[in-house]
Structure 1
Amino acid sequence: MKISTTRDRIQGKITLPSVWRGTVLRIAAVLFWILLWAVAAHKVGLPVLLPSPLSVAQRLVQLCVTADFWMTVFASLVRILLGFFCGVLFGTLLAVMAWRSDIAQEMIRPMLGVLKATPVASFIILALVWIDTQILAAVISFIMVLPLVYHNVREGFDAADTKLLEMARMFELSRAKTFRYCYLPAILPFFLSAVSSALGFAWKSGIAAEVLGRPARAIGKQIYDSKIYLETVDLFAWTIVVILMSVMLEKLMLWLVKRIGKRSMKVAEK
């Protein structure tokens, strides 16, 4: 009994720090960079060039208690998520078309090549000539997401197990069952990986589009105005909002991807 208790204590001393070690290291790293920021701000001595972390935190709290702040964040979120989901949908549909038809694949290939090779800033400037600034972020997010989802889903089709496909033909399974048992397990990892990565691209490109397009209510407009009027504290505060939103969206998407992946694999196994 004593040996067991002693062993449990030793294991507790060993495993408990290892569980929290990653979290502690992350917090320590963040505190280190905040401290370095504070020292640099103190040395510079000009808030218009580099405000202190404390002043930025105070400004961020002031913004968070206003209704206008949350309406601005919500408006940007809606625009960017709209473009993101449309990009996922159309990217998947184009991948299915390319898988079903070689002609469709050859027709789609040049368009996606142009989308991948053209800088996002060029798309934003061109889009400003043709479309309203209120939907600019959605369009740019759509353009960034579409090629990524298309290529990953297309690779998922190519990664399907040939032996399973031969068995499906041998037993004369329907197209629906062949897709469910042969293609779906191969596509899901590629699709979920594309979706989780595409959200980050959509968010950053959408904010960049708002900075250049300056719609009526948007995070990007707030960043641009802060720069124009030399409100550096506001510029840092809104930049922190962008970073925090990006991290939260990424965590949420990863959680959803894991849940959807587990459920889809269970459905495919039945």
Structure 2
Amino acid sequence: MRRQKAQNRIRPWAVALWLVVWELASLYIGQEILLVSPVSVLRRLCDLALRPDFWSSIAFSFFRIIGGFLLAAFFGTLLAGLAGAFSFLRDLLAPAMAAVKAVPVASFIILILIWVPSRNLSIVISFLMVLPVIYTNVLNGIRSTDPKLLEMARVFRIPLFRRIRYIYLSQLLPFLRTGFSLSLGLCWKAGVAAEVIGIPKGSIGEKLYEAKVYLETPDLFSWTLVIVFISVIFEKIFLRLIDEGVGMIEKR
């Protein structure tokens, strides 16, 4: 797992190189309405950060999108656990999960808008996009658990909580981390896309839509940078908390 983290680490020199490429491309095009420079984006981002509605828009989208993610993480894990125990439920849920993964996000957004107010649209869309990812990863982790360990637990009549703690938890952690890492980026993409279409007042999606309508390219890049930054930071914090939580449970 440590080797995987090292391989996925973002190197500062690589970021700096891409910023240089971005700056050179902007200078070559010479029209900031088409490609704004990173310096202009940073300057505009500092201006936006001084406005109260900047932080309220971030809070509006953050709590709804992350709320949908947490709900999907809970129900996805719960359903995967039940599906791992009961084959009938696994067969019943298979078509539904396949359909959710196959249907385009835009179709879901337009359909959900009929039933749900635009203010809560990003919660539902984030939930729907994350649910099959968590469900599939956790279910694969359960099904890949060493059958010899499970047989030993049955023979020695080890209580369910101790099985979860010493057998399932260690087996599921890599699958959970992969599922969380994939779905966190996905929930932000889907959630913000839902806001751009539904245009709830006071959301990041509304700011992106206004930037597109009024051809404010610096605003568009600035808000996109905010989304990327929040997504990456929250992912690192969330996965760190998961690792520490699991470590505390294993030490008891």
TM-score by length of 2: 0.89
Offset of 1:105 from its aligned partner? 1.3
Counterpart amino acid of residue 44 in structure 1:
I
How far apart, CA to CA, are the structure 1 residues paired with 2:73 and 2:26? 42
SS in 2 for 1:230: coil
- % identical equivalent positions: 43
Residues 43-66 of structure 1 deviation map (CA, whole Å, 9 limit, x = unaligned)? 333222222222221111001122
How far apart, CA to CA, are the structure 2 residues paired with 1:193 and 1:265? 20
Counterpart amino acid of residue 100 in structure 1:
A
Does the 8 A contact of 2:134 with 2:183 survive in 1? Answer: yes
The correspondence for 1:229, drawn from 186, 207, 214, is 214
Alignment: residue pair count? 245
- Greater Rg over alpha carbons, structure: 1
Partner of 2:23: 38
Query: Structure 2 vs 1, CA of residues 169 and 258 (structure 1 numbering), >3 Å: closer, same or farther?
Result: closer
Counterpart amino acid of residue 202 in structure 1:
C
1:201 matched to 2:189? The reply is no
Partner of 1:167: 152
- 5 Å matches for 1:97-136? 97-136=82-121
Residues 4-49 of structure 1 deviation map (CA, whole Å, 9 limit, x = unaligned)? xxxxxxxxxxxxxxxxxx99x9333333332332233233332222
Query: Structure 2 vs 1, CA of residues 67 and 99 (structure 1 numbering), >3 Å: closer, same or farther?
Result: same
Counterpart amino acid of residue 40 in structure 2:
S
How far apart, CA to CA, are the structure 1 residues paired with 2:26 and 2:149? 62
Offset of 1:79 from its aligned partner? 0.5
Q: Unaligned 5+ residue runs, structure 1?
A: 1-21
Offset of 1:256 from its aligned partner? 1.9
Q: Unaligned 5+ residue runs, structure 2?
A: 1-7
Higher relative contact order (CA 8 A, sep 6+): 2
How far apart, CA to CA, are the structure 2 residues paired with 1:141 and 1:40? 34
Does the 8 A contact of 2:166 with 2:250 survive in 1? Answer: no
1:181 matched to 2:166? The reply is yes
Residues 170-193 of structure 1 deviation map (CA, whole Å, 9 limit, x = unaligned)? 222333333333333222332233
Does the 8 A contact of 1:136 with 1:213 survive in 2? Answer: yes
Offset of 1:139 from its aligned partner? 0.7
SS in 1 for 2:31: coil
SS in 2 for 1:257: helix
Offset of 1:140 from its aligned partner? 0.8
Partner of 1:29: 14
Residues 107-131 of structure 1 deviation map (CA, whole Å, 9 limit, x = unaligned)? 1111101011112122112112221
Farther off after superposition, 253-262 or 65-74: 253-262
Does the 8 A contact of 1:196 with 1:253 survive in 2? Answer: no
The correspondence for 2:52, drawn from 63, 67, 74, is 67
Q: Could you say what the CA RMSD is over the residues aligned between the two structures, in angstroms?
A: 2.1
